[in-house]
Amino acid sequence: MKTRTLVLSLSASSQSRPAFRRRPGLPHLAGAGGLAILVSLSILAAWPSGLAPYDPTLTVGRPLQKPNPEFRLGTNDIGQDLLSELIWGTRISLGTGLIVATLAVVIGTAVGLAAGYTNNLFSGILMRLADLTLVLPFLPLVILLSAYLGPSQRNVILILTLVSWAGPARLIRAQVLSLVNERFVEAARAMGADRVRILIDHILPGVASIAGLQFVLVAASSILAEASLSFLGLGNPTAKSWGVMLYFARASGAFLGESWRWWVLPAGVMITLSVLSLVLIGFALEQRFEPGARGRWNLLRRGS
């Protein structure tokens, strides 16, 4: 398999064009903006019961109402409040993304460290597995797996983790491989530090920034992937995620009438905002940790 060594970045190659240096505030601005969006969304996710006017699982009014003072975004085909659905959806969509990102980065880091630091058959097999995961068509594979495993939130998380660990693993392995040949690691070895000590004191801090960046990027792509899966009817249909909202909107033909403006539009805006907040934070992190390096701007390269 072709290794993904060709990683290109949005960041400037700093010596050639110093334009970005004149605007040191840009990554900060992007990061702050992303963080602000993420914090607002997190408040919705943390306290939906206080902010949502109704219980989104209950029929609270006539079905298919237009927005009115009672139901700010109208009601869906079975009379549930769309605004409440939207607010509760934050928890599921954001939560799924963060859980998948945590699992994928923990697994990816462990594999990357093991494969970069030891050179045996086992680590070789792990990396082949990572290559394989990266080359198989992402969404068709996910669809196939979910069709067999059945629709549930747990399975969505499981499947997305299964296809998301490989990217971080590859990048972290590459970083470890370049770190072990660094002078300071050599020095530590010469002074008699054992392998575990070197791993903890010298290698781990060196991969932390990549792991952090990958966490943000995997979270973003997982939110998109969860929405896609739910939209195809492969998520948990009883969970009120934004993708599920769009699934039901499509099923009842909402986008062919005028109700797309309050049923379809807001859910997509929420997805876009969540992903965008993470993309912006990722951009800021990348500029912070690897200014001018051939960074790993994977999110821009990974469709969903």
Partner 1 sequence: MSRRWVRRILEYGVTLFAAVSINFLLPRAMPGDPLALIAGDAVRQMGAERIAQLRSAYGLDRPLIEQYALYLGRLARGDLGTSYRYSGGRTVIQVLADRFTWTFFLVTVSLALAALAGSALGVWAALRRGRSGDLGLLTVIFTLKSIPPFWLAMILIPIFAVNLGWLPSGDSYSIPRPTGLAGVTDVLRHAVLPMGVLTLSYLPTSFAVMRSTMSSVLGADYIRTARAKGLRRGLVILRHAMRNALLPVVTSLSLDFGQLLGGVTLIETVFNYRGLGGMMFEAVKSRDYPLLQGGFLLFTLGVLGVNLLTDWLYPRLDPRLREQPA
* Residues found near partner 1 in the complex (CB under 8 A): 1-2, 4, 6, 8-13, 15-17, 19-20, 22-23, 26, 128, 132, 134-145, 147-149, 220, 224, 227-228, 231-234, 246, 249-250, 255-258, 260, 264-265, 267-268, 271-273, 275-276, 279-280, 283, 297, 299-304
CB nearer partner 1, residue 53 or residue 253? 253
| Least Å from the CB of residue 23 to partner 1 | 6
CB nearer partner 1, residue 128 or residue 197? 128
What is each CA distance from 36 to 27, 32, 39, 40, 160, in whole angstroms?
A: 14, 6, 5, 6, 26
Cα–Cα nearest to 104, from 41, 37, 165: 165
Q: Say which residues have a Cβ less than 8 Å from residue 277's Cβ, sequence separation at least 6.
A: 33, 34, 35, 36, 37, 38, 41
CB nearer partner 1, residue 195 or residue 301? 301
CB nearer partner 1, residue 58 or residue 135? 135
Q: Which phi and psi angles does 23 have, rounded to 5°? A: -120, 70
| Least Å from the CB of residue 41 to partner 1 | 13
Cα–Cα nearest to 159, from 209, 225, 112: 225
Q: Can you tell me the distance from the alpha carbon of 88 to that of 48, in angstroms, rounded to the nearest whole number?
A: 5
| Least Å from the CB of residue 1 to partner 1 | 5
Q: Can you tell me the distance from the alpha carbon of 6 to that of 8, in angstroms, rounded to the nearest whole number?
A: 6
CB nearer partner 1, residue 175 or residue 274? 274
| Least Å from the CB of residue 142 to partner 1 | 8
Q: Can you tell me the distance from the alpha carbon of 81 to that of 84, in angstroms, rounded to the nearest whole number?
A: 6
| Least Å from the CB of residue 30 to partner 1 | 8
